[in-house]
Structure 1
Amino acid sequence: MKHTYARIIGTGSCVPNEPITNAMLVERLAAKGIETSDEWIRDRSGITQRYWVSEGQTVSSLAEVAAKNALQMAGIGADELDLIIFGTTTSDMMFPSAGCLLQSRIGAKKAAAFDVVAACSGFIYSMTMANAMIQAGQAKNVLVVGGDVISRLLDWNDRTTSVLFGDGAGAVVLQASEEAGILSCKIHSDGDLSSILYSTGVIKNGEIVGNPFITMDGQAVFKNAVKVLGDVALEVLDDAHMGVEQLDWFIPHQANIRIMQAAAKRLNVPTEKVIVSVDQHGNTSAASVPLALDMAVRDGRIQKGQTLLLQGVGGGFSWGASLLKF
């Protein structure tokens, strides 16, 4: 009996507007009486710039561009999609889902669509669900999107979070294939750690209740992220009966260069095999992995047949990994 794989046949991405450099951000924060510097930001995060949406732009509008780019590379039309899974924590509205809004934007009339809310792990969670749907024979062509507009959740009086995040969207088209594609997916969560990264704001009786801004315990996030990223990497490699040395590229969640370097060191992955885009995009939450993936595909580093390890980690506390042949 032939095995059915979910294989990536197209990638796409989108960031809004012009980049916001560290110097521009330092000036903005200084106007609010908050001191920081380009050196402080780069030293702690590796970030030199990020992109933010302007009025009228939404996560679904960014995803529309990313999706169309991915479909163009895949060589299929939106009307051939069976399913859209959108990993996002910052949908355009309470409901309907950003997935349904995206479906309308691209004209994917026969595709079911829904959102996955798993913060920075949203893309990996969505990839895992898409893989399962394809393997189960429930879908042939699936659009998987990771996107967030985190700038709208930033507290400009908190320099520890306001300097880290950016906006963007990334997408992949997965297609059922007999050719090797996704080899292993594993996702996990630990709600006992929900207090280290969260936003409590909700709408109740027409008013915002709770704190609508991101709150983060940076040290706790760093410690737990490095541990779980290492653990889940070994889990998917073991599941596929592969070793770290067989990886061509490691694409961790682009949260912070220190976390990425520590995760790579724990796995003994050489620096030259780590795809880094956090310097250009900041932490774009669910968009970070597909943004980095698309960047490396389009600049020619990632080639067909290579082995990739994708990872996400974020609020929940949630994390996961996907090991695949490109």
Structure 2
Amino acid sequence: MEDSDLPFITDESTFIIAEAGSNHNGDLETAISLIDAAADAGADAVKFQTFRSETMYVEDSGTIETANGERSLYDVVADAEMPYEWIPRLFEHCRDREVYFMSSPFDEESVEKLEPYVPMIKVASSVLSHHPFLQAVAETGKPIVASTGAHTLQEIQESVETLRAADASAIVLLHCISAYPTPLESANVRAVSRLIDEFDVPVGFSDHTIDATTAPTAAVALGADVIEKHITLDKSQEGLDHSFALEPEELAEMVRAIRKTESALGSGEVTVQSIEQDWYESARRTIHATRDITEGEQITVEDIAILRSGERNRGLEPKHYDEVVGSTAQTNLEKDQGITRGDFISN
């Protein structure tokens, strides 16, 4: 796999990121299984999250209700941390499964730990307005894929300008709604088009709806180059991101739906396709004789009609009707014959 600017953005195929996040539950083998599930489903990349509670939350940040009762949010986040020593192992397994290894860093140390192993840096929505952090990310020289959840257009513009001022090598923006899960009616997929119009960068969609196909395929139809979706081995598990993530078969369903959507979108060129040729020949109407016409006769409106040719040879297109009416037959014409340019002389 290449490590040049945006090797993953192509005209032929949407880049699909399976967001494993912290759904490894602190277990390396589960993390590896998530990579396998994503690769088997046809995803292009598997993305984890690399954070440390002490650089993410104030220590007294409140509590959260869990299956084991109320717990400190700070402690819950600490339990979800991915050990730095996993990074080489996860990278190697992704390479073996021929998918990109990705992870979202949430602090500068995590950027440093990830930098040798990732072909691009994913910036989570929660740090998009953290301009000092964006500068550190840009300094890696890696392409940057940034989610835009809970930010205004003006704030996104400021972040893009910050990245460009720091000489970011390349930027991809992902429309995102930071609600977990996101109701389908709140997905606002048309924002993909707005971001395409506003910014001269590739645009994608980071989807948090529980529907496997509707919002992602709509985004692809609107021009998204990247789709990101959370995955889990079992959405009934306790954890921060399991409940709204896709299970392996749902992820495979999403990938299939996206690939079908790409196929249906086509090139956008307006022309007669080869698969239409039979219909073109038999069903599009042309000018035909309605009776036997003798050479030298003047052709009247009663002598011709605009009809489907079926298995007969086609005549002239209907736009030439007025040229034929009032002309003189240059040869004998039989009933139902398609009238062509050499069959008459204009008067």
TM-score normalised by the chain length of structure 2: 0.27
Larger radius of gyration: 2
Bigger share in helix: 1
Bigger share in strand: 1
Higher RCO (C-alpha under 8 Å, 6+ residues apart): 1
